[in-house]
Amino acid sequence: MYAERVSRLTGAVVWTSTPTEPGPGRVLPDGCMDLLWHDGRLLVAGPDTRAYVTGSGQSLWAGVRFHPGTAPVLLGVPAAALRDRRVDLADLWPAARTRRLTARVNAAPDPASGLEEAALSVAADTGPPDPLVRRIVAALDAGCSVAATADALGIGARRLHRRSLAAFGYGPKTLARVLRLQRALALARGGTPLAETAARTGYADQAHLARDVRELTGLPPGELLGRRG
């Protein structure tokens, strides 16, 4: 079972997941990075360019999902270094710092609240998020092209690409594609027919949407959404 709530850390979501069915799960790309807790360990989930297939265990996972582009500042590591990876926090931070944070989370009443407090503590010791990063996300999520985004922000295409690699783990074109996928899935899950979903989210047609869904998630739309059409 999966549950989430808005975090007290601006732009973040706190979630828990305990698989209730046998077999692996599937985490879809969303432009975000997560601080994870599992079996007493802290891990970091990097930005995905395709669906991440989880293990088949049924133990509890908890996480804090950060708004696209914000986790690298908090964790002190460029997003591109973690693209399509799950790594132990101990591989990124000094051992003593990792032990202190892990102990703090494990001592909390529950892992999710412990992770949230840990994220708030880390955020208090770092600078504010780069406003340019949020503007990049907003422009691309609104359907602006990469060229139009660079022009609107007053930065060149090369600088936009460099900033995107560090903040999101991949270039702006990939981020735009991932964000468009999430917009389309939100509409489709709300009952919007796939042809209308494709038109409203900037795909050339329903076939284009279906190809993108399959390439990014590994499943055709009907199977991913659990319905036909």
Phi-psi label, residue 96: left if phi above 0, alpha if psi -120 to 50, beta otherwise: alpha
Question: In angstroms, rounded to a whole number, what is the distance separating the alpha carbons of residues 30 and 48?
Answer: 7
Q: 58 with 31: CB under 8 angstroms?
A: no
Question: In angstroms, rounded to a whole number, what is the distance separating the alpha carbons of residues 188 and 21?
Answer: 24
Question: In angstroms, rounded to a whole number, what is the distance separating the alpha carbons of residues 128 and 133?
Answer: 11
For residue 228, the model assigns a pLDDT of 35
Token pair 């930065």 is found at: 155
Question: Pairing mode, if any, of strands 2-6 and 13-17?
Answer: antiparallel
Q: Alpha carbon of 13 to those of 33, 92, 115, 199: distances in Å?
A: 11, 22, 11, 29
pLDDT tens for the chain, 229 residues: list them: 899 999 999 999 999 998 777 778 899 999 999 999 999 999 999 999 999 998 777 789 999 999 999 999 999 999 999 999 999 999 999 999 999 999 999 999 999 999 999 999 999 999 888 899 999 999 999 999 999 999 999 999 999 999 999 999 999 999 999 999 999 999 999 999 999 999 999 999 999 999 999 999 999 999 999 843 3
Q: 18 with 60: CB under 8 angstroms?
A: yes
For residue 21, the model assigns a pLDDT of 74
For residue 19, the model assigns a pLDDT of 77
